[in-house]
Structure 1
Amino acid sequence: MLPCGHHGIHSVAALCTLRVTVITDDMLTNSITVRLENMSQEKFLSPLLSRFVEGVATVLSTTKDAVFVFNIQNDTDVSSNILNVTFSALLPGGVRDKFFPSEDLQEQIYLNRTLLTAVSTQRVLPFDDNICLREPCENYMKCVSVLKFDSSAPFISSPTVLFRPIHPVNGLRCRCPPGFTGDYCETEIDLCYSSPCGAHGRCRSREGGYTCECQEDFTGPSPALSLLSEGSGSFPNVLGR
Protein backbone atom coordinates (compact mmCIF):
# COMPACT_ATOMS: atom_id res chain seq x y z
CA MET A 1 0.00 0.00 0.00
CA LEU A 2 1.60 3.25 -1.13
CA PRO A 3 0.37 6.55 0.39
CA CYS A 4 -0.36 9.05 -2.33
CA GLY A 5 -1.09 12.18 -0.32
CA HIS A 6 -2.41 13.76 2.86
CA HIS A 7 -4.82 16.63 3.38
CA GLY A 8 -5.53 17.58 6.97
CA ILE A 9 -6.91 14.69 8.94
CA HIS A 10 -7.80 12.83 5.74
CA SER A 11 -5.42 10.56 3.87
CA VAL A 12 -5.63 9.01 0.42
CA ALA A 13 -3.97 5.73 -0.46
CA ALA A 14 -3.74 3.65 -3.62
CA LEU A 15 -2.51 0.15 -4.36
CA CYS A 16 -0.06 0.22 -7.25
CA THR A 17 1.21 -2.87 -9.05
CA LEU A 18 4.62 -2.59 -10.69
CA ARG A 19 5.39 -5.14 -13.37
CA VAL A 20 8.85 -5.09 -14.95
CA THR A 21 9.50 -7.23 -18.01
CA VAL A 22 12.98 -7.67 -19.44
CA ILE A 23 12.64 -7.77 -23.22
CA THR A 24 15.14 -10.24 -24.68
CA ASP A 25 16.24 -10.86 -28.25
CA ASP A 26 14.40 -14.18 -28.09
CA MET A 27 11.16 -12.40 -27.24
CA LEU A 28 11.63 -9.94 -30.09
CA THR A 29 12.48 -12.65 -32.61
CA ASN A 30 9.40 -14.66 -31.65
CA SER A 31 6.93 -11.78 -31.51
CA ILE A 32 4.17 -10.59 -33.80
CA THR A 33 2.28 -7.33 -34.26
CA VAL A 34 -1.51 -7.28 -34.48
CA ARG A 35 -3.62 -4.37 -35.72
CA LEU A 36 -6.63 -3.24 -33.72
CA GLU A 37 -9.37 -1.26 -35.46
CA ASN A 38 -10.67 2.06 -34.07
CA MET A 39 -8.32 1.97 -31.13
CA SER A 40 -6.18 4.55 -29.33
CA GLN A 41 -3.31 4.05 -26.91
CA GLU A 42 -5.22 5.44 -23.92
CA LYS A 43 -8.35 3.43 -24.65
CA PHE A 44 -6.32 0.26 -25.06
CA LEU A 45 -4.54 0.65 -21.73
CA SER A 46 -7.72 1.19 -19.74
CA PRO A 47 -9.35 -1.23 -19.53
CA LEU A 48 -8.73 -3.23 -22.71
CA LEU A 49 -5.11 -4.24 -22.12
CA SER A 50 -6.04 -6.92 -19.59
CA ARG A 51 -8.86 -8.15 -21.85
CA PHE A 52 -6.49 -8.36 -24.81
CA VAL A 53 -3.96 -10.39 -22.80
CA GLU A 54 -6.77 -12.66 -21.59
CA GLY A 55 -7.94 -13.15 -25.16
CA VAL A 56 -4.46 -14.03 -26.43
CA ALA A 57 -3.96 -16.46 -23.53
CA THR A 58 -7.31 -18.11 -24.33
CA VAL A 59 -6.42 -18.54 -28.00
CA LEU A 60 -2.99 -19.99 -27.19
CA SER A 61 -4.18 -22.16 -24.27
CA THR A 62 -1.60 -20.56 -22.02
CA THR A 63 -1.71 -18.30 -18.96
CA LYS A 64 -2.03 -14.52 -18.88
CA ASP A 65 1.38 -14.28 -17.22
CA ALA A 66 2.90 -15.97 -20.27
CA VAL A 67 1.80 -13.16 -22.64
CA PHE A 68 4.16 -10.17 -22.90
CA VAL A 69 2.92 -6.96 -24.53
CA PHE A 70 5.89 -4.65 -25.03
CA ASN A 71 4.92 -2.17 -27.74
CA ILE A 72 1.79 -0.12 -28.36
CA GLN A 73 2.08 2.23 -31.30
CA ASN A 74 -0.28 4.09 -33.59
CA ASP A 75 -0.15 2.89 -37.18
CA THR A 76 1.41 5.73 -39.15
CA ASP A 77 0.72 4.19 -42.57
CA VAL A 78 -3.05 4.65 -42.43
CA SER A 79 -5.34 7.56 -41.73
CA SER A 80 -7.87 5.70 -39.55
CA ASN A 81 -7.39 4.88 -35.88
CA ILE A 82 -5.44 1.63 -36.02
CA LEU A 83 -3.26 0.59 -33.11
CA ASN A 84 -0.32 -1.79 -33.54
CA VAL A 85 0.21 -4.06 -30.54
CA THR A 86 3.34 -6.19 -30.38
CA PHE A 87 3.66 -9.19 -28.09
CA SER A 88 5.22 -12.60 -27.60
CA ALA A 89 4.03 -15.61 -25.60
CA LEU A 90 5.56 -18.58 -23.84
CA LEU A 91 4.60 -22.07 -24.89
CA PRO A 92 2.15 -23.79 -22.52
CA GLY A 93 3.09 -26.75 -20.39
CA GLY A 94 5.71 -25.19 -18.19
CA VAL A 95 8.47 -25.16 -20.81
CA ARG A 96 10.95 -22.64 -19.43
CA ASP A 97 11.75 -19.66 -21.64
CA LYS A 98 10.42 -21.34 -24.79
CA PHE A 99 8.36 -18.94 -26.90
CA PHE A 100 5.85 -19.60 -29.63
CA PRO A 101 7.72 -19.18 -32.93
CA SER A 102 6.46 -16.08 -34.70
CA GLU A 103 5.02 -18.09 -37.60
CA ASP A 104 3.03 -20.35 -35.24
CA LEU A 105 1.95 -17.39 -33.16
CA GLN A 106 0.68 -15.52 -36.21
CA GLU A 107 -1.14 -18.59 -37.51
CA GLN A 108 -2.88 -19.23 -34.20
CA ILE A 109 -3.98 -15.63 -33.84
CA TYR A 110 -5.15 -15.39 -37.45
CA LEU A 111 -7.17 -18.63 -37.33
CA ASN A 112 -8.78 -17.61 -34.03
CA ARG A 113 -9.40 -13.92 -34.66
CA THR A 114 -13.13 -14.39 -34.00
CA LEU A 115 -12.45 -15.86 -30.55
CA LEU A 116 -9.86 -13.18 -29.76
CA THR A 117 -12.32 -10.46 -30.77
CA ALA A 118 -15.05 -11.98 -28.59
CA VAL A 119 -12.86 -12.23 -25.48
CA SER A 120 -10.94 -8.98 -25.86
CA THR A 121 -13.90 -6.95 -27.25
CA GLN A 122 -11.52 -5.54 -29.88
CA ARG A 123 -11.60 -6.17 -33.61
CA VAL A 124 -8.34 -7.65 -34.82
CA LEU A 125 -7.56 -6.82 -38.45
CA PRO A 126 -5.74 -9.11 -40.90
CA PHE A 127 -1.97 -8.98 -40.68
CA ASP A 128 -0.17 -6.41 -42.76
CA ASP A 129 3.34 -7.80 -43.33
CA ASN A 130 4.99 -5.90 -46.16
CA ILE A 131 8.66 -6.45 -45.44
CA CYS A 132 8.74 -9.86 -47.13
CA LEU A 133 6.55 -9.02 -50.12
CA ARG A 134 9.55 -8.24 -52.32
CA GLU A 135 10.88 -11.79 -51.69
CA PRO A 136 14.38 -10.82 -50.60
CA CYS A 137 15.47 -14.38 -49.80
CA GLU A 138 17.27 -16.12 -52.62
CA ASN A 139 16.89 -19.78 -53.61
CA TYR A 140 13.14 -19.61 -52.96
CA MET A 141 13.49 -19.75 -49.20
CA LYS A 142 10.86 -18.45 -46.80
CA CYS A 143 11.18 -14.91 -45.51
CA VAL A 144 10.05 -14.28 -41.93
CA SER A 145 9.69 -10.78 -40.51
CA VAL A 146 11.35 -10.23 -37.14
CA LEU A 147 11.82 -7.32 -34.76
CA LYS A 148 15.01 -5.91 -33.31
CA PHE A 149 15.38 -3.53 -30.39
CA ASP A 150 15.65 0.13 -31.40
CA SER A 151 14.95 2.34 -28.39
CA SER A 152 12.71 2.89 -25.40
CA ALA A 153 9.74 5.11 -26.05
CA PRO A 154 8.18 7.72 -23.72
CA PHE A 155 5.61 6.58 -21.20
CA ILE A 156 2.02 6.13 -22.32
CA SER A 157 -0.61 6.80 -19.69
CA SER A 158 -4.29 6.23 -19.09
CA PRO A 159 -6.39 6.85 -15.97
CA THR A 160 -5.26 3.54 -14.44
CA VAL A 161 -2.12 2.40 -16.30
CA LEU A 162 1.33 3.87 -16.88
CA PHE A 163 3.05 1.91 -19.67
CA ARG A 164 6.61 2.18 -20.99
CA PRO A 165 6.81 0.59 -24.45
CA ILE A 166 9.90 -0.10 -26.49
CA HIS A 167 10.22 0.82 -30.13
CA PRO A 168 11.51 -2.12 -32.18
CA VAL A 169 12.50 -1.92 -35.84
CA ASN A 170 11.32 -4.31 -38.51
CA GLY A 171 13.78 -6.76 -39.95
CA LEU A 172 13.69 -10.10 -41.73
CA ARG A 173 15.12 -13.58 -41.43
CA CYS A 174 15.63 -16.05 -44.27
CA ARG A 175 15.34 -19.76 -43.65
CA CYS A 176 18.15 -21.23 -45.71
CA PRO A 177 18.11 -24.74 -47.25
CA PRO A 178 20.98 -27.17 -46.67
CA GLY A 179 24.05 -25.97 -48.51
CA PHE A 180 23.26 -22.25 -48.36
CA THR A 181 23.98 -19.54 -45.83
CA GLY A 182 24.04 -15.75 -45.48
CA ASP A 183 21.46 -13.13 -44.52
CA TYR A 184 19.56 -13.81 -47.74
CA CYS A 185 20.69 -17.41 -48.40
CA GLU A 186 22.88 -16.02 -51.16
CA THR A 187 26.06 -17.95 -50.30
CA GLU A 188 26.43 -21.58 -51.33
CA ILE A 189 28.40 -23.77 -48.93
CA ASP A 190 31.00 -26.12 -50.39
CA LEU A 191 29.77 -29.36 -48.84
CA CYS A 192 32.77 -31.20 -50.30
CA TYR A 193 35.16 -29.17 -48.16
CA SER A 194 35.28 -31.81 -45.39
CA SER A 195 35.92 -34.67 -47.86
CA PRO A 196 32.75 -36.57 -46.92
CA CYS A 197 33.36 -39.24 -49.58
CA GLY A 198 36.62 -40.45 -48.04
CA ALA A 199 39.92 -41.24 -49.69
CA HIS A 200 38.43 -43.58 -52.29
CA GLY A 201 35.62 -41.39 -53.53
CA ARG A 202 35.29 -38.18 -55.48
CA CYS A 203 32.92 -35.56 -54.08
CA ARG A 204 30.98 -33.45 -56.53
CA SER A 205 28.93 -30.51 -55.25
CA ARG A 206 25.36 -30.06 -56.37
CA GLU A 207 22.57 -27.72 -55.28
CA GLY A 208 21.66 -28.43 -51.68
CA GLY A 209 24.07 -31.33 -51.27
CA TYR A 210 26.80 -33.40 -52.85
CA THR A 211 27.33 -36.64 -54.79
CA CYS A 212 29.98 -39.26 -54.12
CA GLU A 213 31.53 -41.07 -57.08
CA CYS A 214 33.32 -44.19 -55.87
CA GLN A 215 36.58 -45.45 -57.32
CA GLU A 216 36.81 -48.94 -58.81
CA ASP A 217 36.42 -51.75 -56.28
CA PHE A 218 34.73 -49.43 -53.75
CA THR A 219 31.09 -48.94 -52.96
CA GLY A 220 28.79 -48.04 -50.07
CA PRO A 221 27.59 -44.87 -48.35
CA SER A 222 31.13 -44.26 -47.11
CA PRO A 223 33.42 -45.35 -49.97
CA ALA A 224 36.47 -45.68 -47.75
CA LEU A 225 34.81 -48.38 -45.63
CA SER A 226 33.34 -50.79 -48.16
CA LEU A 227 35.94 -52.64 -50.23
CA LEU A 228 34.65 -55.29 -52.66
CA SER A 229 36.20 -58.72 -52.27
CA GLU A 230 39.05 -59.43 -54.65
CA GLY A 231 38.05 -61.00 -57.93
CA SER A 232 34.38 -60.07 -57.63
CA GLY A 233 34.57 -57.50 -60.37
CA SER A 234 34.53 -53.73 -60.21
CA PHE A 235 32.09 -51.02 -61.13
CA PRO A 236 31.66 -47.33 -60.35
CA ASN A 237 29.09 -46.54 -57.68
CA VAL A 238 27.42 -43.13 -57.61
CA LEU A 239 25.72 -42.10 -54.39
CA GLY A 240 23.77 -38.93 -53.80
CA ARG A 241 23.04 -37.06 -50.61
Structure 2
Amino acid sequence: MYSVTVLLIWISDHYGIESDGIHSVTAFCTLRVTIITDDMLTNSITVRLENMSQEKFLSPLLALFVEGVATVLSTTKEGIFVFNIQNDTDVSSNILNVTFSALLPGGIRNKFFPSEDLQEQIYLNRTLLTLISTQRVLPFDDNICLREPCENYMKCVSVLKFDSSAPFISSNTVLFRPIHPINGLRCRCPPGFTGDYCETEIDLCYSNPCGNNGLCRSREGGYTCECHEDFTVLDTW
Protein backbone atom coordinates (compact mmCIF):
# COMPACT_ATOMS: atom_id res chain seq x y z
CA MET A 1 0.00 0.00 0.00
CA TYR A 2 1.38 3.41 -0.94
CA SER A 3 2.07 5.78 1.89
CA VAL A 4 3.26 9.06 0.40
CA THR A 5 4.75 10.68 -2.65
CA VAL A 6 8.15 12.36 -2.48
CA LEU A 7 8.89 14.98 -5.10
CA LEU A 8 12.46 15.67 -6.11
CA ILE A 9 13.01 18.50 -8.57
CA TRP A 10 16.40 19.23 -10.10
CA ILE A 11 16.69 22.60 -11.83
CA SER A 12 19.70 23.52 -13.94
CA ASP A 13 20.60 26.07 -16.60
CA HIS A 14 21.35 25.32 -20.22
CA TYR A 15 22.47 27.96 -22.69
CA GLY A 16 22.08 28.19 -26.46
CA ILE A 17 18.38 27.73 -27.31
CA GLU A 18 16.46 31.00 -26.76
CA SER A 19 18.02 34.28 -27.85
CA ASP A 20 17.16 37.99 -28.01
CA GLY A 21 19.84 38.54 -30.62
CA ILE A 22 22.49 39.27 -28.06
CA HIS A 23 21.98 36.78 -25.25
CA SER A 24 20.68 33.24 -25.28
CA VAL A 25 19.50 31.18 -22.33
CA THR A 26 17.23 28.27 -21.53
CA ALA A 27 16.32 26.96 -18.12
CA PHE A 28 14.73 23.57 -17.67
CA CYS A 29 13.77 21.39 -14.72
CA THR A 30 13.49 17.68 -14.14
CA LEU A 31 10.67 16.40 -11.96
CA ARG A 32 11.29 13.07 -10.28
CA VAL A 33 8.47 11.44 -8.35
CA THR A 34 9.22 8.53 -6.02
CA ILE A 35 6.48 6.42 -4.47
CA ILE A 36 7.38 5.53 -0.88
CA THR A 37 5.80 2.27 0.27
CA ASP A 38 5.40 0.70 3.68
CA ASP A 39 8.03 -1.86 2.69
CA MET A 40 10.54 0.91 2.02
CA LEU A 41 9.80 2.53 5.38
CA THR A 42 10.13 -0.77 7.23
CA ASN A 43 13.50 -1.47 5.60
CA SER A 44 14.98 2.02 5.96
CA ILE A 45 17.60 3.50 8.25
CA THR A 46 18.56 7.01 9.36
CA VAL A 47 22.18 8.12 9.24
CA ARG A 48 23.62 11.20 10.93
CA LEU A 49 25.88 13.49 8.89
CA GLU A 50 28.34 15.74 10.72
CA ASN A 51 28.51 19.50 10.03
CA MET A 52 25.73 19.38 7.46
CA SER A 53 22.71 21.52 6.65
CA GLN A 54 19.69 20.73 4.49
CA GLU A 55 20.63 23.22 1.79
CA LYS A 56 24.26 22.09 1.62
CA PHE A 57 23.21 18.44 1.42
CA LEU A 58 20.81 19.07 -1.46
CA SER A 59 23.36 20.97 -3.54
CA PRO A 60 25.66 19.46 -4.47
CA LEU A 61 26.09 16.60 -1.98
CA LEU A 62 22.87 14.64 -2.52
CA ALA A 63 24.16 13.02 -5.69
CA LEU A 64 27.49 12.20 -4.05
CA PHE A 65 25.73 10.65 -1.05
CA VAL A 66 23.59 8.44 -3.29
CA GLU A 67 26.66 7.39 -5.27
CA GLY A 68 28.56 6.56 -2.09
CA VAL A 69 25.73 4.48 -0.61
CA ALA A 70 25.27 2.62 -3.91
CA THR A 71 28.98 1.81 -4.02
CA VAL A 72 29.04 0.55 -0.44
CA LEU A 73 26.01 -1.68 -1.06
CA SER A 74 27.11 -2.82 -4.54
CA THR A 75 23.77 -1.73 -5.96
CA THR A 76 22.69 0.92 -8.46
CA LYS A 77 22.19 4.61 -7.78
CA GLU A 78 18.61 4.21 -9.01
CA GLY A 79 18.07 1.72 -6.20
CA ILE A 80 18.77 4.27 -3.42
CA PHE A 81 15.70 6.14 -2.16
CA VAL A 82 16.28 9.18 0.07
CA PHE A 83 12.93 10.34 1.44
CA ASN A 84 13.75 12.45 4.49
CA ILE A 85 16.41 14.99 5.41
CA GLN A 86 15.88 16.63 8.75
CA ASN A 87 17.97 18.64 11.17
CA ASP A 88 18.76 16.73 14.34
CA THR A 89 16.89 18.52 17.12
CA ASP A 90 18.45 16.48 19.94
CA VAL A 91 21.90 18.04 19.64
CA SER A 92 23.23 21.57 19.51
CA SER A 93 25.78 20.97 16.74
CA ASN A 94 25.00 21.00 13.04
CA ILE A 95 23.94 17.38 12.38
CA LEU A 96 21.62 16.29 9.60
CA ASN A 97 19.53 13.11 9.74
CA VAL A 98 19.11 11.40 6.36
CA THR A 99 16.63 8.54 5.97
CA PHE A 100 16.77 6.15 3.03
CA SER A 101 16.17 2.60 1.85
CA ALA A 102 17.99 0.58 -0.81
CA LEU A 103 17.15 -2.18 -3.24
CA LEU A 104 19.15 -5.39 -3.12
CA PRO A 105 21.65 -5.77 -6.00
CA GLY A 106 21.29 -8.21 -8.83
CA GLY A 107 18.06 -7.00 -10.35
CA ILE A 108 15.81 -8.48 -7.65
CA ARG A 109 12.59 -6.55 -8.19
CA ASN A 110 11.26 -4.63 -5.18
CA LYS A 111 13.43 -6.49 -2.66
CA PHE A 112 15.05 -4.15 -0.15
CA PHE A 113 17.99 -4.53 2.18
CA PRO A 114 16.60 -5.39 5.64
CA SER A 115 17.19 -2.47 7.97
CA GLU A 116 19.59 -4.49 10.15
CA ASP A 117 21.75 -5.46 7.15
CA LEU A 118 21.59 -1.95 5.76
CA GLN A 119 22.77 -0.43 9.02
CA GLU A 120 25.58 -2.97 9.37
CA GLN A 121 26.88 -2.40 5.83
CA ILE A 122 26.83 1.37 6.18
CA TYR A 123 28.53 1.29 9.57
CA LEU A 124 31.27 -1.14 8.52
CA ASN A 125 32.01 0.87 5.36
CA ARG A 126 31.77 4.38 6.79
CA THR A 127 35.31 5.20 5.68
CA LEU A 128 34.58 4.34 2.04
CA LEU A 129 31.29 6.22 2.17
CA THR A 130 33.09 9.30 3.51
CA LEU A 131 35.68 9.16 0.72
CA ILE A 132 33.04 9.05 -2.01
CA SER A 133 30.37 11.31 -0.58
CA THR A 134 32.75 13.75 1.23
CA GLN A 135 30.38 13.51 4.21
CA ARG A 136 31.20 11.98 7.57
CA VAL A 137 28.65 9.50 8.87
CA LEU A 138 28.42 9.48 12.65
CA PRO A 139 27.72 6.34 14.71
CA PHE A 140 24.09 5.34 14.92
CA ASP A 141 22.23 6.44 18.03
CA ASP A 142 18.59 6.24 16.97
CA ASN A 143 18.05 2.71 18.29
CA ILE A 144 14.70 2.69 20.03
CA CYS A 145 15.44 -0.86 21.18
CA LEU A 146 18.03 0.21 23.76
CA ARG A 147 15.39 0.11 26.50
CA GLU A 148 14.73 -3.59 25.70
CA PRO A 149 10.95 -3.40 25.29
CA CYS A 150 10.45 -6.94 23.96
CA GLU A 151 9.63 -9.89 26.20
CA ASN A 152 10.18 -13.65 26.00
CA TYR A 153 13.55 -13.36 24.24
CA MET A 154 11.99 -11.56 21.28
CA LYS A 155 14.34 -9.55 19.08
CA CYS A 156 13.60 -5.84 18.92
CA VAL A 157 13.86 -4.22 15.49
CA SER A 158 13.63 -0.46 14.98
CA VAL A 159 11.22 0.48 12.17
CA LEU A 160 9.80 3.68 10.71
CA LYS A 161 6.18 4.50 9.99
CA PHE A 162 4.72 7.29 7.92
CA ASP A 163 3.75 10.41 9.87
CA SER A 164 3.16 13.35 7.54
CA SER A 165 4.51 15.22 4.58
CA ALA A 166 6.80 18.11 5.47
CA PRO A 167 7.24 21.49 3.75
CA PHE A 168 9.47 21.73 0.71
CA ILE A 169 13.20 22.26 1.26
CA SER A 170 15.11 24.14 -1.40
CA SER A 171 18.66 24.88 -2.43
CA ASN A 172 20.03 26.65 -5.49
CA THR A 173 19.32 23.69 -7.77
CA VAL A 174 17.01 21.27 -5.94
CA LEU A 175 13.49 21.45 -4.56
CA PHE A 176 12.84 18.51 -2.25
CA ARG A 177 9.71 17.50 -0.38
CA PRO A 178 10.56 15.06 2.43
CA ILE A 179 8.31 13.01 4.62
CA HIS A 180 8.68 12.89 8.38
CA PRO A 181 8.52 9.28 9.53
CA ILE A 182 8.19 8.40 13.21
CA ASN A 183 10.26 5.83 15.03
CA GLY A 184 8.59 2.60 16.05
CA LEU A 185 9.61 -0.93 16.88
CA ARG A 186 8.73 -4.48 16.02
CA CYS A 187 9.36 -7.52 18.21
CA ARG A 188 10.44 -10.64 16.34
CA CYS A 189 10.03 -14.08 17.85
CA PRO A 190 13.11 -16.29 18.20
CA PRO A 191 13.24 -19.32 15.87
CA GLY A 192 10.65 -21.94 16.73
CA PHE A 193 8.16 -19.65 18.48
CA THR A 194 5.12 -17.65 17.40
CA GLY A 195 2.19 -15.71 18.85
CA ASP A 196 1.64 -12.13 19.98
CA TYR A 197 4.13 -12.62 22.79
CA CYS A 198 6.04 -15.59 21.32
CA GLU A 199 4.34 -17.79 23.86
CA THR A 200 3.54 -20.60 21.39
CA GLU A 201 6.21 -23.09 20.39
CA ILE A 202 6.07 -24.14 16.75
CA ASP A 203 5.94 -27.89 16.17
CA LEU A 204 8.51 -28.22 13.41
CA CYS A 205 7.67 -31.91 13.05
CA TYR A 206 4.31 -31.19 11.43
CA SER A 207 5.73 -31.52 7.91
CA ASN A 208 7.25 -34.95 8.65
CA PRO A 209 10.82 -33.80 7.92
CA CYS A 210 12.31 -37.15 8.99
CA GLY A 211 10.39 -39.25 6.46
CA ASN A 212 8.40 -42.42 7.02
CA ASN A 213 11.33 -44.31 8.54
CA GLY A 214 12.27 -41.69 11.10
CA LEU A 215 10.79 -40.37 14.32
CA CYS A 216 10.75 -36.58 14.61
CA ARG A 217 11.20 -35.09 18.07
CA SER A 218 10.55 -31.39 18.42
CA ARG A 219 13.01 -29.35 20.46
CA GLU A 220 13.46 -25.65 21.16
CA GLY A 221 14.15 -23.86 17.91
CA GLY A 222 14.21 -27.03 15.82
CA TYR A 223 13.87 -30.81 15.78
CA THR A 224 15.89 -34.04 15.76
CA CYS A 225 15.32 -37.25 13.84
CA GLU A 226 15.56 -40.74 15.33
CA CYS A 227 15.59 -43.78 13.07
CA HIS A 228 13.13 -46.61 13.52
CA GLU A 229 14.48 -50.09 14.22
CA ASP A 230 16.41 -51.63 11.30
CA PHE A 231 16.98 -48.18 9.73
CA THR A 232 19.96 -45.88 9.91
CA VAL A 233 21.02 -42.43 8.70
CA LEU A 234 22.27 -42.44 5.12
CA ASP A 235 25.13 -40.05 4.51
CA THR A 236 25.53 -38.70 1.00
CA TRP A 237 28.73 -37.13 -0.24
TM-score, with length taken from structure 1: 0.73
Tell me if structure 2 keeps the 8 A contact 1:173–1:183.
no
Closer/same/farther in 2, CA of residues 96 and 111 from structure 1, 3 Å limit: same
Match of 2:51 among 16, 24, 38: 38
User: Which one has more relative contact order, counting CA pairs under 8 Å at least 6 apart?
Assistant: 2
| 1:172-192 deviation line (CA, Å, top 9, x unaligned) | 111102554456546777999
Q: Does 1:96 align with 2:113?
A: no
Q: How far is 1:197 from its partner? A: 14
Closer/same/farther in 2, CA of residues 182 and 74 from structure 1, 3 Å limit: farther
Quick one: percent identity of the two aligned structures? 91
- Comparing 142-151 and 198-207, the one that deviates more: 198-207
The 2-side partners of 1:91 and 1:200 are apart by 41
Match of 2:27 among 11, 14, 18: 14
Q: Counting strand residues as a fraction of each chain, which structure ranks higher? A: 2
| 1:153-190 deviation line (CA, Å, top 9, x unaligned) | 10000000000000101011111025544565467779
Closer/same/farther in 2, CA of residues 205 and 64 from structure 1, 3 Å limit: closer
Closer/same/farther in 2, CA of residues 73 and 184 from structure 1, 3 Å limit: farther
Closer/same/farther in 2, CA of residues 128 and 187 from structure 1, 3 Å limit: farther
RMSD (Å), alpha carbons: 3.6
Q: The residue matched to 1:20 in structure 2 has which SS?
A: strand
Q: The residue matched to 1:15 in structure 2 has which SS?
A: strand
Tell me if structure 2 keeps the 8 A contact 1:137–1:185.
no
Segments of 5+ residues of structure 2 without an aligned counterpart are 1-20, 233-237
Segments of 5+ residues of structure 1 without an aligned counterpart are 1-7, 220-241
Q: The residue matched to 1:22 in structure 2 has which SS?
A: strand
How many residue pairs match? The answer is 212
The 2-side partners of 1:117 and 1:201 are apart by 56
The 2-side partners of 1:74 and 1:39 are apart by 9
The 1-side partners of 2:72 and 2:186 are apart by 26
| 1:47-75 deviation line (CA, Å, top 9, x unaligned) | 00000000000101111111000000011
Closer/same/farther in 2, CA of residues 211 and 40 from structure 1, 3 Å limit: same
Tell me if structure 1 keeps the 8 A contact 2:153–2:190.
no
Match of 1:62 among 69, 75, 98: 75
Tell me if structure 2 keeps the 8 A contact 1:136–1:184.
no
Q: Radius of gyration: which is bigger?
A: 1
Q: The residue matched to 1:171 in structure 2 has which SS?
A: strand
Tell me if structure 2 keeps the 8 A contact 1:145–1:173.
yes
Q: Does 1:128 align with 2:141?
A: yes
| 1:11-48 deviation line (CA, Å, top 9, x unaligned) | 74212111100000000011000000010000000000
TM-score, with length taken from structure 2: 0.75
Tell me if structure 2 keeps the 8 A contact 1:39–1:83.
yes
| 1:111-152 deviation line (CA, Å, top 9, x unaligned) | 000000000000100011331001111122221100001111
